[in-house]
Amino acid sequence: MKYLTLLVMFLMLLSCGDKGVLVPDVPVNFHASLNDPRLNALNGAGGAVSLNGYGVAGIIIYRRADNAYMAYDRCSTVNPEQKCAVVIDDPNLTATDPCSGAKYSLYDGAPVKAPAKKSLKQYQVIVTSFEISVVN
């Protein structure tokens, strides 16, 4: 009985940890022609564009040096309930949360400057010969 009580107390302590607020899951279904003028910045490696009206606070599409495309929700993971949209920095290597000063890598969405601790929410990118899609 003594061990059972200790086990229950230990499990209760583990469950009390701060889970943190997460960026909410919302449907994302962006499709555009690769010739769409909004996407001109993606014509070369290191290009990035931000688009409003998708995700929680908009989306960022980034073309890495290895020509892989990445897509992130613009909603900062620092206090995501505020829905503060990160802004692409110049050069297009990072994005900054104007509300907290946190920075994120556009290569993989990882936090690179405090107070950010969690990566940007990532979406799937599908590229065909004629179209780019960002979905979840």
In order of start, what are the domains of the chain with their CATH numbers? 21-135 (2.102.10.10)
Name the phi and psi angles at 122, rounded to 5: -105, 145
Question: According to the model, what pLDDT value does residue 2 have?
Answer: 55
Place of tokens 């962006």: 30
The whole-angstrom separation of Cα 25 and Cα 50 is 19
Q: Sign of the C-alpha dihedral, residues 120, 123, 126, 127?
A: negative
Give the global pTM: 0.84
Question: According to the model, what pLDDT value does residue 5 have?
Answer: 42
60: nearest Cα among 119, 128, 129, 130: 119
102: nearest Cα among 90, 85, 122: 85
The whole-angstrom separation of Cα 97 and Cα 99 is 5
**Structure tokens that stand for 31 in this block:** 């499709």
Which residues in the chain show pLDDT less than 70? 1-20
